[in-house]
Amino acid sequence: MDTSLQTDIPAWVDGALTPVEKLRVHQLGLKHKAVSVFVMADDAVLIQRRALGKYHTPGLWANTCCTHPLWDEADIDCANRRLEQELGITGLTPEFRDQVEYRADVGQGLTEHEVVQIFVATAPKSLRVVPNPDEVMDWAWMPLDALHADIAARPERYTPWLRIYLAQFAEQIFPK
């Protein structure tokens, strides 16, 4: 079993933020903390295709990276940690953009109910990306207009949260 599933993440239980095992959080659909990062190069966003070994939504395209902060981990530290762990990206300066909340069925009886700190970083398209094969099976730069169009045409290729981000929160994440 993936040992990262045994990690405690910050979740709300009876109104109080409490450390709860990650898999249990998703089985119960508990509201919990999350961080999502979008790396941009002009009008293109760096997206990743989740590795087939992921315990939910394997093989689907997602934003640059997303995760749950560790207990007592600062959100910006979490954003930088996951950029490096998932994609080998270092040296960027993610900037806080907004906080959003969503709830989505991610299959296999699991639910993401996240309060997400959104970060955006800018980079050149020549950015060195070295994906961790346990996390990421592919990556691409995609212009935002093309991403919106492809999600509309083939939503099954994308994670529920990326579809939600672009449908409900695009103006907060990508202000004109």
pLDDT of residue 52: 97
CA nearest to 100, candidates 43, 46, 166: 166
Distance CA 100, CA 108 (A): 24
Q: Is the pLDDT of residue 120 over 90?
A: yes
pLDDT of residue 175: 82
pLDDT of residue 6: 56
Range of lowest pLDDT (12-16, 29-33, 36-40, 113-117): 12-16
Residue 21 appears among annotated catalytic residues: no
CB distance 25 to 32 below 8 Å: yes
Rounded to two decimals, the pTM is 0.93
Give residue 144's domain range: 3-173
- CATH number for the domain including 134? 3.90.79.10
Distance CA 96, CA 36 (A): 10
CB distance 46 to 39 below 8 Å: yes
Q: Is the pLDDT of residue 2 over 70?
A: no
Average pLDDT, the chain: 93
Q: Is the pLDDT of residue 39 over 80?
A: yes
* Phi, psi angles (nearest 5°) of residue 160: -55, -40
Q: Count the domains in the chain.
A: 1
Q: What is the percentage of the chain residues whose pLDDT exceeds 90?
A: 82
Annotated catalytic residue, options 86, 112, 114, 135? 114
> How far out from the chain centre does Cα 85 lie?
13
pLDDT in tens, 15-37: 888 888 988 999 999 999 999 99
Question: Confidence band (pLDDT; 50, 70, 90) for 5?
Answer: low
Q: For strands 31-41 and 110-122, give the pairing.
A: parallel
pLDDT in tens, 124-155: 999 999 999 999 999 999 999 999 999 999 99
Other CB atoms within a 10 A radius of the CB of residue 31 amount to 17
Average pLDDT of the segment spanning 61-86: 95
Contacts of 1 (CB under 8 A, 6+ apart): none
Question: Confidence band (pLDDT; 50, 70, 90) for 9?
Answer: confident
- Per-residue HEC secondary structure of 25-62 comes to HHHHCCEEEEEEEEEEECCEEEEEEECCCCCCCCCCEE
Residue 171 appears among annotated catalytic residues: no
Annotated catalytic residue, options 66, 78, 112, 135? 66
Q: What is the percentage of the chain residues whose pLDDT exceeds 70?
A: 97
